[in-house]
Chain A
Amino acid sequence: MKTLVLILAGGTGEELSVLTRHRAKTAVPFGGRYRVIDFCLSNCVHSGLHEIAVLAQYSPKSLIDHIGMGKPWDLDRKTGGGYILQPTHNGEAATWYLGTADALFQNIDLIKNSKADTILVLSGDQIYVMDYRPLLGYHLEKGRAVTLAIKEVQASQRSRFGMVRRSRDGRITAFREKPAASTFRFASLGIYVFRRDFLIDALGPGKTNIVFDVVMPLLKCGDVAGYAFEGYWEDIGSIQSYYRSSLQLLRNRLLITDPDWPIFTKGNELPPARCADGSRVSDSIVADGCVVKGEVTGSILFPGVTVEKDAVVRDSIVFSYSRIGRGARVTRAILDKFVEIGGAATVGGGGRGRAAAPGARGAKRPQDETGGVAVLGRGARVSRGAGVRGGTLVEPHSRIGSRR
């Protein structure tokens, strides 16, 4: 069996709000030094899969910059290897990728020209560690046109997923997209294995969505198998789920620290992290190049973050090169790259300090959207002594509390 991997990485990630203004959802930083897509790329190479196309479309620069020729994953190869495919003009009427199935169809030449007999389609925006070999083995054994990876989820979570019913012999017999309530126990994980010749036939003009236009029509004839996956799997679908699954890493750290399954990523060249005299760092994940002089607890610091003296960072996620000024307090917040928090400023938490006025430039406060987490976009600046309440979304490069 030879497998070609196609990773869907074109989504706009609107649900991640200010974090995806300048980057693809799959390029969102995660876990102190990674990007979300590192997880499925690492899964691929650990599973012995080395022919990988990443289908990008939205803000691809961040993704291209990160993946490059695929060197960190040993995907810079003479044959196979990794490459990024964006919508192109092919001489006929050209469009953007209109949906998941359309993205595959627009690259059908790649599938036709490949020597692979099996096509593995993944989503680039999920956090999980999975050996694809048992899944591919299961697909081969069942001999169906399509095999879906599925996972049992609790009743309260089912409205977030495409839920499926699995028969006793392992076939998928029904599919409901985000049902209000469902008796189906398994969620589809957006991981599909296709028989190549079937996929080539099934794709075509007007077929936009993999689930509705490719998988659903097969349910009746019983040609869809379901492979139950039991490990950790999380879809970064909202600020809330991003925040939650990030901080879960503090308990579930094997996800990134397993020596047998390292997550590969683009390297950085920063010096070791420096915990200064009088600093207090506990229950946290801290990357190279950080300089901590204050207190950091329950948090994740990406490379090159500075936490000045008497500053407190609690239950927060801080992306690369952000700086938290002297005496500032950052609680339950996500700071994107290059954010500057002025001295004695207050960000997130119960809303101490002066809050950004609801009408202030660049700030809005949709409490429900973020579950009370303050999110500051790339390069945002909070002036000395100013405040940003929990739940506030701050657009990239805006200034909060600047002097009149």
Chain B
Amino acid sequence: MTLKRTVVFILAGGVGKRLSLLTRYRAKPAVSFGGKYRIIDFTLTNCIRSGIDEVYILTQYISRSLVRHIGIGKPWDMDRMTGGLHVLHPHLGYQAADWYRGTADAIFQNIPVLRKLDCENVLILSGDHVYLMDYREFIEFHEGSGKPASVGVVGVPKGMTSEFGIATVDRAGAITKFEEKPKESSGTLASMGIYLFNKEYLISLLEELEAKHGDLDFGKHVIPRLVSRKMISAFRFPGYWLDIGTLKSYYRASLELLAERPRLKLYRWSSPVLTAPDDSPPFVVTKEANISNSLVCNGCFVRGEVRSSILSPGVKIERGARVENSILFHDCTIGAGAEVYNAIVDKGCVVGARAKVGLGDAGVANELQPAYLDFGVTLIGKRTIIPAGVRIGTNCLVSGTIDDGIIPKRNLPDGGYFVAGEMRP
């Protein structure tokens, strides 16, 4: 069966507030994942592997690092004469223009782009998801469904329905009921937030709905309307899928990569996840080093002990240092004799010699962000310098340096924070 031509729009403009300091300087799709990847790499890799060669990325929130990472799409073979990859930022135009006010509003504002596309189908994806999926199966299902719209769904445990949009389907796969984040539900099929539309139908639907809702959102407005009209089917994706929603889910999903058989299949040589290349040398370990149950990237230099952790490119672990259950972003340095437990350490941080980070009572939630940081992990913001010898507890939030006056040379108890006023998330 020859599939009709499909063009992709990736929603990559969300603020990602629940990721706390990780999204203080970057859009959520640009957050590092699995050591060498950024979250959006998974979606872009899926596109090219599914034979899709025209992709529009809708950005809005701090897009610099995202745009820089994507470039002209070379790592994904998207640097093309025709089609290829394009970033669509909200812009001023001849007619009224505005920020993107909702997920569907972002597509609505780009209807002029949509109209010009030579394609039958429009696939709308999110830049915040971690999964490996061949969209051709989805497209094939959609074309066979006889409906103008389809949504990808995954099975979730009964207790977790309150975090998702839950669909109930009939035998043919048509959605009969859709509940947004229900406390309790008989259904267990969660919307993945990926949608496939007939292009012409999408345009007229958005134009119709935009008149009523300025902050047009797929989950809130578009999908319920399609369900009430019986115009949408659900495609059940059987694989692993994760929406990086909170700091907790980010931490859990990252460390799950260390499992004996992780659900995310990164180690298939024939279909690697594609990302921007880096020029670092292979990683170097010295005689005194000891590494176990960890992922280590190129450019790392390890003299200390590393257990159950992820080291992004360019991380240095000095002699006698110890890192456990932690995620270290690019170019961090852990000083001699320092200890880091249960921490997420953003790019370019330095933990001074003999400092101790992350041990303490996980029951004490963070003072500043109790909702996000209450699961026994300390978060250290980008380019923070932790002075030698200090102790930082667990559930702490730290961002800054001694020089900028944010971090005093003293210990920080569990649940505490050293964060500049204007930086407070």
Minimum distance in angstroms from A295 CB to a CB of chain B: 11
Assuming A33-B298, A272-B310, A291-B267, is B281 touching A257 (CB within 8 A)? Answer: yes
Question: A32 interface residue, CB < 8 Å from B?
Answer: yes
B292 touches A288 (CB 8 A): no
| Total A residues in contact with B, Cβ cutoff 8 Å | 40
Chain A contacts for B292, CB-based, 8 A: 275-280
B274 touches A272 (CB 8 A): no
Chain A contacts for B239, CB-based, 8 A: none
Q: Which of B279, B295, B301 contacts A272 (CB 8 A)?
A: B295
Residues of A112-126 at the interface with B, using a CB-CB cut-off of 8 Å, are none
A31 touches B267 (CB 8 A): no
Q: Which of B281, B288, B296, B298 contacts A275 (CB 8 A)?
A: B296
B293 touches A286 (CB 8 A): no
Q: Mark interface residues in B250-267 (1 if CB within 8 Å of A CB, else 0).
A: 000000000010000011
Minimum distance in angstroms from B39 CB to a CB of chain A: 15
B286 touches A282 (CB 8 A): yes
Question: A385 interface residue, CB < 8 Å from B?
Answer: no
B-contacting 9-mer, from A77-85, A263-271, A351-359: A263-271
Question: A321 interface residue, CB < 8 Å from B?
Answer: yes
Question: B290 interface residue, CB < 8 Å from A?
Answer: yes
Assuming A279-B292, A282-B287, is B282 touching A272 (CB within 8 A)? Answer: no
Q: How far, in whole Å, are A32 and B242 apart by their CA atoms in the complex?
A: 33
Minimum distance in angstroms from A270 CB to a CB of chain B: 6
Pick 25 A–B contacts, CB within 8 A, sort by A. Answer: A31-B282, A33-B298, A271-B35, A271-B295, A272-B296, A272-B297, A272-B298, A273-B297, A274-B296, A275-B295, A276-B260, A277-B292, A278-B292, A280-B290, A282-B286, A282-B287, A283-B285, A284-B284, A285-B282, A285-B283, A285-B284, A285-B285, A286-B296, A287-B283, A291-B267
Residues of B38-70 at the interface with A, using a CB-CB cut-off of 8 Å, are none
A-B interface, 6 closest residue pairs, ranked by CB to CB distance from nearest: A267-B277, A32-B282, A287-B282, A272-B35, A277-B293, A271-B266
A253 touches B284 (CB 8 A): yes
Sample of 4 more A-B contacts, CB < 8 Å, known A271-B272, A271-B295, A287-B282: A264-B279, A271-B266, A285-B283, A288-B298
Q: How far, in whole Å, are A231 and B286 apart by their CA atoms in the complex?
A: 24
Secondary structure type dominating chain B contacts: loop
Q: Who on chain B is nearest to A271 by CB?
A: B266
Q: How many A-B residue pairs have CB under 8 A?
A: 116
Minimum distance in angstroms from A85 CB to a CB of chain B: 26
A276 touches B34 (CB 8 A): no
Q: Which of B75, B274, B296 contacts A273 (CB 8 A)?
A: B296
Q: How far, in whole Å, are A226 and B278 apart by their CA atoms in the complex?
A: 37
Q: Mark interface residues in B12-28 (1 if CB within 8 Å of A CB, else 0).
A: 00000000000000000
Q: How far, in whole Å, are A319 and B269 apart by their CA atoms in the complex?
A: 15
Q: Mark interface residues in A62-101 (1 if CB within 8 Å of B CB, else 0).
A: 0000000000100000000000000000000000000000
Interface of B toward A, CB cutoff 8 Å:
34-36, 75, 260, 266-267, 269, 272-275, 277-298, 301, 306, 310-311
A283 touches B287 (CB 8 A): yes
Q: Who on chain B is nearest to A267 by CB?
A: B277
Minimum distance in angstroms from A87 CB to a CB of chain B: 33
Q: How far, in whole Å, are A173 and B295 apart by their CA atoms in the complex?
A: 56
Q: How far, in whole Å, are A89 and B89 apart by their CA atoms in the complex?
A: 53
Minimum distance in angstroms from B199 CB to a CB of chain A: 32
A281 touches B301 (CB 8 A): no
B282 touches A286 (CB 8 A): yes
Chain B contacts for A281, CB-based, 8 A: 285, 289, 291
Q: Who on chain B is nearest to A262 by CB?
A: B279
Q: How far, in whole Å, are A289 and B285 apart by their CA atoms in the complex?
A: 16
Chain B contacts for A273, CB-based, 8 A: 283, 295-297
Question: A349 interface residue, CB < 8 Å from B?
Answer: no
Residues of A356-370 at the interface with B, using a CB-CB cut-off of 8 Å, are none
Residues of A160-218 at the interface with B, using a CB-CB cut-off of 8 Å, are none
Chain B contacts for A33, CB-based, 8 A: 281-282, 298
B281 touches A321 (CB 8 A): no
Q: How far, in whole Å, are A300 and B285 apart by their CA atoms in the complex?
A: 10
Q: Who on chain A is nearest to B35 by CB?
A: A272
Chain A contacts for B274, CB-based, 8 A: 269
Chain B contacts for A271, CB-based, 8 A: 34-36, 266-267, 272-273, 295
Chain B contacts for A287, CB-based, 8 A: 282-283, 298
Minimum distance in angstroms from B303 CB to a CB of chain A: 10
Question: A343 interface residue, CB < 8 Å from B?
Answer: no
Q: How far, in whole Å, are A106 and B167 apart by their CA atoms in the complex?
A: 71
Q: How far, in whole Å, are A288 and B291 apart by their CA atoms in the complex?
A: 15
Question: A304 interface residue, CB < 8 Å from B?
Answer: yes
Chain A contacts for B267, CB-based, 8 A: 271, 274, 289, 291
Q: Who on chain B is nearest to A266 by CB?
A: B277
Chain B contacts for A228, CB-based, 8 A: none
Q: How far, in whole Å, are A257 and B291 apart by their CA atoms in the complex?
A: 20
Question: A108 interface residue, CB < 8 Å from B?
Answer: no
Assuming A32-B282, A279-B292, is B36 touching A288 (CB within 8 A)? Answer: yes
Q: How far, in whole Å, are A279 and B296 apart by their CA atoms in the complex?
A: 13
Chain A contacts for B286, CB-based, 8 A: 282-283
Minimum distance in angstroms from B337 CB to a CB of chain A: 19
Question: A140 interface residue, CB < 8 Å from B?
Answer: no
Minimum distance in angstroms from B278 CB to a CB of chain A: 8
A282 touches B284 (CB 8 A): no
Q: Which of A275, A278, A287, A291 has the most CB of B within 10 A?
A: A275
Q: How far, in whole Å, are A279 and B306 apart by their CA atoms in the complex?
A: 12
Question: A219 interface residue, CB < 8 Å from B?
Answer: no
Q: How far, in whole Å, are A274 and B259 apart by their CA atoms in the complex?
A: 11
Chain A contacts for B294, CB-based, 8 A: 274-275
Chain B contacts for A265, CB-based, 8 A: 279
Q: How far, in whole Å, are A33 and B278 apart by their CA atoms in the complex?
A: 12
Q: Who on chain A is nearest to B277 by CB?
A: A267
Q: How far, in whole Å, are A228 and B286 apart by their CA atoms in the complex?
A: 33
Chain A contacts for B311, CB-based, 8 A: 272
Q: Mark interface residues in A306-329 (1 if CB within 8 Å of B CB, else 0).
A: 000000000000000100000000
Chain B contacts for A277, CB-based, 8 A: 260, 292-293
Chain B contacts for A304, CB-based, 8 A: 269
A275 touches B291 (CB 8 A): yes
B272 touches A269 (CB 8 A): yes
Chain B contacts for A32, CB-based, 8 A: 281-282
Assuming A271-B34, A275-B294, A279-B292, is B272 touching A286 (CB within 8 A)? Answer: no
Assuming A276-B293, A304-B269, is B287 touching A286 (CB within 8 A)? Answer: no
B281 touches A31 (CB 8 A): yes
Minimum distance in angstroms from A1 CB to a CB of chain B: 28
Chain A contacts for B301, CB-based, 8 A: 257
Minimum distance in angstroms from A15 CB to a CB of chain B: 26
Q: How far, in whole Å, are A282 and B302 apart by their CA atoms in the complex?
A: 9
Q: How far, in whole Å, are A270 and B280 apart by their CA atoms in the complex?
A: 13
Chain A contacts for B34, CB-based, 8 A: 271-272
Q: How far, in whole Å, are A284 and B286 apart by their CA atoms in the complex?
A: 7
Chain A contacts for B275, CB-based, 8 A: 269
Chain B contacts for A253, CB-based, 8 A: 281, 284
Chain B contacts for A276, CB-based, 8 A: 260, 292-293
Q: Who on chain B is nearest to A306 by CB?
A: B267
A272 touches B284 (CB 8 A): no
Q: Mark interface residues in A27-41 (1 if CB within 8 Å of B CB, else 0).
A: 000011100000000
